[in-house]
Chain A
C-alpha cells in the first residue's frame, strides 16, 4: 500500500510542475507590503519538486552594477535559503535590523498523509468518488506547493527591498552564483549546537528580561511583542484548525454527492432528477467551500503565520539589543572594577565605549525597524482582511445563486411532474 501510495504521489508531483507557471504568478506576495524599488526585482517563476527536495528557480532583474548581468536565474534549494538567513542573522552589522524570517520547510506531510488514506480507502469508494477525492488532493497539494514557493519568494523580496540587506554580499552571491551553492547540511553536531545555542539564548532572554530598560519605547515594545506573539501564535493555530475542518466539510460534500448520484442511478421515480440535481449542487458547493477554505488559509492563516514569524524576528532584534545593553552594563561594571584596581583601564574604557556604541546603534536602527515593522504589519493586515472579506462575500453570493437556482429547478420540475400526472390521468 505504501509503495503504491508513494508512486501515486510522485505522479502527482509531475502533474504539479505543469501547472506551476501560471499559478505562481497569480499569487504574488500576499502577506507583505514591499516598497517597489525597481533596482532589484526578484521572483521565483518556477519550482521543481523532486521527492522532498524542492528546487526553486530564482530569477533576478536588476539595474545595480554590483551584479554582472542585468537579468539572470539560478536554481536554489530550501537549504540555501536557510543558509542565507543564518548568515544574515550572524552578521554583526545587521544586529539592529529585523532579519526577515526564514521560509518554513516545505511541508507536504498533510497531503501525503491524505493520499495515503485515500489509497487505503480506494476499495470502499466508487470510482467517481475516488477521482474527485484525488482531484481534491491534487488541488490541496498544489496549494501547499504554491504557498511554499510564495514564502520563499517573499523572503527574497523582503531582503531585496531592504536598503541595507539588499547590499549584502552573501545575498548577492545567493542570487548570482550560477553553480550549486553546495551548502553543507548541518551535521548532527551543529544541529545539537544550534539547539544548545537556542537553549542558552532563551535562558539568557529570561535572565536579561529582568533588566529594566532605560528607553520607554523599547520597554513598551518588548511587552507588546511578547504579548502579541503569544496571541498571534494561538490565533494561527486556531485558524489552521478552522480551515482544516472547513476542508473536511468540503470533502464530505464530495462523498455525499457521489452517494446521491449512485442512489439516483438506481431510482426511477420522479425523485431521480431531484437527487441528481441535489448531487450536482453539492458537487458545485464543495468546490466553492473548498475555495472558501483555501482562501481563508491563504489570506488569514498565512498572514497570521507570517507575522508570527516576523514578530519572532522582531523579538530577536530586541533580544540582541537587550544583550548589547547587558554587555554595556557589564562593561561599565568592568570599567568600574578596572578603575578601582587601576588595571587595564584603557582597555576597559575602550570596551565600554564599544559596547555603548553598539548599543546605541542597535537602539537607533531597532527603533526605526520596529516602527516600520508596525506600519508594515497594519498595512498587510488591512490588505488581507479586505481581500478575505471580499472573497467570502463573493463565494457566499455564488452559493446563494447556486442554491436558489437549484430550489427553483426543483420546484418547477415538481410542478411540471404534477401537471404531467394530471394530464395522464
Chain B
C-alpha cells in the first residue's frame, strides 16, 4: 500500500477496498468455488449468473476458511510460482509479520489473507488490517517483478518484462490477480478511481454490480487499454495456467457470446449512472459489438474480463458502506479528464545545441497532467528531433503490426536543418524551426490522444525521463536508414504481389476512400501552399508599395495630400503586416493541418497493409496445411505408417497455426476497423476545429482591415 500511495497522488480511501475486492476477485478467477464463495459472502443475496453459481446457501464462514486456501495452494504448488511468489512475498514480509520460507507458508499467507479479506465485508471492523495484509504481498510482488512496473504498472503490461510477470501471474492465480489489482487501483486513482477492469470485464456479476448505484463507479476508460495489453500477454497464458485456471478460462471462453450481451448492458447501465463516458467508451462499445462477430481477440479479452469483474460485487458492497461522497468527487474528476483530456503537452523553446554540422535543435517538452501514471503533475524534459523520430520508431515497431495507426512524426528535412545549422539569424530558418516545433507538438498530442499509445512505456519514458538513450537508427544517411529503405522497397514489392481477395466490403471501400482522399488532400495542400506563397508575395509587394507611397508623399507639395499619402503608406504598412500574419495563419493552421493528414493517411494505409500481411500469413498457412494434408493422403495411399504419424503431427501443428493466424488476422482487422473509425472521428474534429480557427483568423484580419481603412478615411477627406 505504501508503494501505491507513493505513485498515485491522491490516496483515495476507496483504493484499499478496491484492492481488497480485487483480492477477492482473484479467488473467483482461480476457482469457481472461490468465486462463488466470495460473491455469496459479500453480496449475500444477489443473484449469481450461471458461470458463477450462487452458493449463498452455504455458511460464509466455512467457505472462507477452506476453499480459498485450497485453491491457492493448488496453483501455487503446481506451477513453479515460487520465484515470483517468494520474491514478492519476501518483500511483503517486511511489512507483514509473517515468515515465508517455504511454499506451504506462502500458501498459508495467501489463504490467511484471503480468508480474512473475504470475511472482511462481513465484519467491517476487520477491514483495515486485513487489507494491509492482503495487499502488501501483492503489491510488493509487482514491484519486485516488473522493475519498471511500479512506475507504470499498466503500461508495463506490454513490455517484455511484463510478459514474465504475466506468466508468473498466470501460473499463480492469486498473484495474477494481485498484479491486476495494483494496476487497476492505480488507474482507478488516476482517473478518479474507476476500476477499469470492471466494465470491460462485463460478466454476469458485473451486471449485478452495476445495478447497484455504487457499481457505476467501477467504470474506467483505461480499462480497454488494459485488456488489450493483457490480451497480448494472454496468448501465452493457456499453456501455463494450471489446470483449474485453464478449465475456468475455457469455460468462460465458451460462454462468451451470451456474456457479450450482458457486458454490453452493464456498460449501458453504468454509463447511465455515471453519465460521463465519452469516446473510450464508445470504442469499447464498438469492441463489444465486434465481439459478437466472434473475433478471437475479443473473446480472449472477454475471458480476461471475467476476472476482474468478480471483485466488483464486494467492492460495491464495501464502497457503499464507506463513502458516498468521495465518489461524486471522483466523478467530477473523471468528467474533467474525459472532457479536457487531462494531459497537456507543449513543445517550446527550440534551442540550438552545438556548432557546425553536429549542431542540433533541442526542444523543451513540458507535460502537465493529473494522470497518475506519471510520477508528478508537471515535468519538463529536453528532447531533440531524433528523439521524436526514435519514439516513432519504437511505437511503430510495437504497434503498427497490430493494425494501430501510429501517428507519424514530421519529416526530416536535411535542407532545412542544414540551413539552421549554418545560417545565423535567418527568417527562413526561424520559420523552419517554428514550423517544426509546432509539428512536433501536434505529433505528441496525437500520440497521447491515442488511448493505446498513451499506455506505452516508451511514450511515458519519452515524456518523463531526464536522459534518453540517443536514437540511432533515425539518421537519414546511416546504415539503419539504408536498411529501412531496403525494407520499404521490399514491402512495396510484396504489396504489389499480394492479391487479396477482399472478403469485407467495408475495408475495400475504406481503402479506396483513403486513397482518393490522400490524392485530394495532396492537391489541396499544393493549392494552399500556393496561396501562402501568393499571400507572402502580396505582403512583400504591399510593403514595397507602402514605401513607395511614403516617398511620393514626401515629395508631394500639397500639405494635405502629402499627409494623406503618408497616412496611406502607414495603412499599407499595417496591411502588409496583416497579410504576412494571414500568410502564416494560412500556413500553420491550414497547410500544416493538411500536411499532417497526408502523413496520417499514409499511416492509415500502412495499417491496411498490416491487415493484408496478416491475411497473407493466414493464407500461406492454409496453403501449407493443404499441402500437408495432401502428403498425408499420399502417405496413406502409399501405406507408409512410419511417416504417417509425422505427417499427422504436422497437420495438427499447421492447423493450430492456421487458426492462430486466422485469429490474428481477425484481431488485426478488428483493430484496423476500430482505428479507422477513431481516425475519422478525430479527423472530423480536427478539421472542424482548424477550419473554424482559420476562419476566425481571416475574420480578425478583415476586422483589422476595416479599422485601418476607417482611420484613413477622414485623412483622405481632409485633403483640400
Chain A contacts to B: CB under 8 angstroms? 224, 227-228, 231-232, 234-235, 238-239, 241-242, 244-246, 248-249, 252-253, 255-256, 259-260, 262-263, 266-267, 269-271, 274-275, 278, 281, 285, 374, 377-378, 381-382, 385-386, 389-390, 392-393, 396-397, 399-400, 403-404, 406-407, 410-411, 414
A-facing mask of B491-530, CB < 8 A → 1, else 0?
Answer: 0000000000000000000000100110011011001101
A393–B548 touching, CB < 8 Å: no
Given A385-B719, A396-B705, A378:B558 Cβ within 8 A: yes
Which A residues are CB-close (under 8 A) to B547?
A: 238
Task: Sample 20 A-B pairs with CB under 8 A, ordered by A number.
Answer: A224-B555, A227-B555, A231-B555, A235-B548, A238-B547, A239-B548, A242-B544, A248-B534, A253-B531, A274-B688, A274-B691, A278-B691, A285-B698, A374-B557, A377-B561, A382-B561, A390-B713, A400-B699, A406-B695, A410-B688
Main DSSP-derived SS at the A contact region:
helix
B684–A248 touching, CB < 8 Å: no
B687–A274 touching, CB < 8 Å: yes
Interface size on B, residues (CB 8 A): 56
B719–A400 touching, CB < 8 Å: no
Determine how close the nearest CB of chain B comes to the CB of A55; give it in whole angstroms. 35
Given A256-B531, A396-B709, A386:B702 Cβ within 8 A: no
B680 interface hit (Cβ, 8 Å) = yes
A241–B527 touching, CB < 8 Å: no
Which A residues are CB-close (under 8 A) to B719?
A: 378, 381-382, 385
CB < 8 Å neighbour of A263 from B520, B552, B692 = B520
Determine how close the nearest CB of chain A comes to the CB of B697; give it in whole angstroms. 10
A263–B699 touching, CB < 8 Å: no
Determine how close the nearest CB of chain B comes to the CB of A385; give it in whole angstroms. 4
B710 interface hit (Cβ, 8 Å) = yes
- List 4 tightest A-B contacts by C-beta distance, closest first: A403-B699, A252-B531, A382-B719, A385-B716
B58 interface hit (Cβ, 8 Å) = no
Given A231-B548, A281-B695, A385-B564, A256:B527 Cβ within 8 A: yes
A-facing mask of B541-561, CB < 8 A → 1, else 0?
Answer: 110110111011001111011
CB < 8 Å neighbour of A271 from B688, B695, B709 = B688
Main DSSP-derived SS at the B contact region:
helix
- A-B pairs with CB below 8 Å: how many? 163
Which B residues are CB-close (under 8 A) to A406?
A: 695
Given A235-B545, A255-B527, A274-B688, A407:B696 Cβ within 8 A: yes
A407–B699 touching, CB < 8 Å: yes
B538 interface hit (Cβ, 8 Å) = yes
B545–A400 touching, CB < 8 Å: no
Which B residues are CB-close (under 8 A) to A253?
A: 531
CA A425 – CA B609 in complex, angstroms?
Answer: 33
A-facing mask of B667-685, CB < 8 A → 1, else 0?
Answer: 0000000000000100110
Which A residues are CB-close (under 8 A) to B57?
A: none
Given A270-B684, A396-B705, A248:B558 Cβ within 8 A: no
CB < 8 Å neighbour of B541 from A242, A389, A393 = A242
CA A224 – CA B545 in complex, angstroms?
Answer: 21
7 new A-B pairs (CB below 8 Å) besides A256-B528, A271-B687, A275-B691? Answer: A235-B548, A248-B534, A259-B520, A260-B524, A274-B687, A381-B561, A399-B699
A242–B695 touching, CB < 8 Å: no
Determine how close the nearest CB of chain A comes to the CB of B269; give it in whole angstroms. 14
What is the chain B residue whose CB lies nearest that of A375? B558
CA A410 – CA B520 in complex, angstroms?
Answer: 22
A266–B517 touching, CB < 8 Å: yes
Determine how close the nearest CB of chain A comes to the CB of B273; give it in whole angstroms. 15
Determine how close the nearest CB of chain A comes to the CB of B707; give it in whole angstroms. 9
B696–A393 touching, CB < 8 Å: no
A271–B541 touching, CB < 8 Å: no
Which B residues are CB-close (under 8 A) to A281?
A: 695
Determine how close the nearest CB of chain A comes to the CB of B537; give it in whole angstroms. 5
CA A259 – CA B516 in complex, angstroms?
Answer: 12
CA A331 – CA B524 in complex, angstroms?
Answer: 74
CB < 8 Å neighbour of B520 from A224, A244, A266, A399 = A266
B703 interface hit (Cβ, 8 Å) = yes
A224–B557 touching, CB < 8 Å: yes
B717 interface hit (Cβ, 8 Å) = yes
CA A169 – CA B688 in complex, angstroms?
Answer: 70
B439 interface hit (Cβ, 8 Å) = no
Determine how close the nearest CB of chain A comes to the CB of B595; give it in whole angstroms. 15
A392–B531 touching, CB < 8 Å: no
Which B residues are CB-close (under 8 A) to A267?
A: 517
A386–B713 touching, CB < 8 Å: yes
B558–A374 touching, CB < 8 Å: yes
Determine how close the nearest CB of chain A comes to the CB of B520; give it in whole angstroms. 5
A263–B517 touching, CB < 8 Å: yes
Given A238-B541, A378-B719, A410:B548 Cβ within 8 A: no
Given A235-B549, A238-B545, A400-B699, A411:B692 Cβ within 8 A: yes
Considering residues B537, B545, B716, which has the most beta carbons from chain A within 10 angstroms of its beta carbon? Answer: B545
Determine how close the nearest CB of chain A comes to the CB of B338; give it in whole angstroms. 15
Which B residues are CB-close (under 8 A) to A274?
A: 687-688, 691
CA A389 – CA B568 in complex, angstroms?
Answer: 10
Which B residues are CB-close (under 8 A) to A403?
A: 695-696, 698-699, 702
CA A73 – CA B471 in complex, angstroms?
Answer: 84
A-facing mask of B414-453, CB < 8 A → 1, else 0?
Answer: 0000000000000000000000000000000000000000
A400–B703 touching, CB < 8 Å: yes
Which B residues are CB-close (under 8 A) to A260?
A: 524
State which residues 54-108 of B face A: CB under 8 Å. Answer: none
A-facing mask of B331-342, CB < 8 A → 1, else 0?
Answer: 000000000000
Which A residues are CB-close (under 8 A) to B699?
A: 399-400, 403-404, 407
Which B residues are CB-close (under 8 A) to A396?
A: 702-703, 705-706, 709
Which B residues are CB-close (under 8 A) to A271?
A: 683-684, 687-688
B713–A389 touching, CB < 8 Å: yes
Considering residues B530, B542, B560, B698, which has the most beta carbons from chain A within 10 angstroms of its beta carbon? Answer: B698
Given A224-B557, A231-B548, A248-B537, A389:B520 Cβ within 8 A: no
B544–A392 touching, CB < 8 Å: no
CA A269 – CA B517 in complex, angstroms?
Answer: 13
Determine how close the nearest CB of chain A comes to the CB of B607; give it in whole angstroms. 18
B702–A252 touching, CB < 8 Å: no
B552–A256 touching, CB < 8 Å: no
B538–A228 touching, CB < 8 Å: no
B534–A259 touching, CB < 8 Å: no
CA A242 – CA B543 in complex, angstroms?
Answer: 9
CB < 8 Å neighbour of B564 from A227, A263, A381 = A381
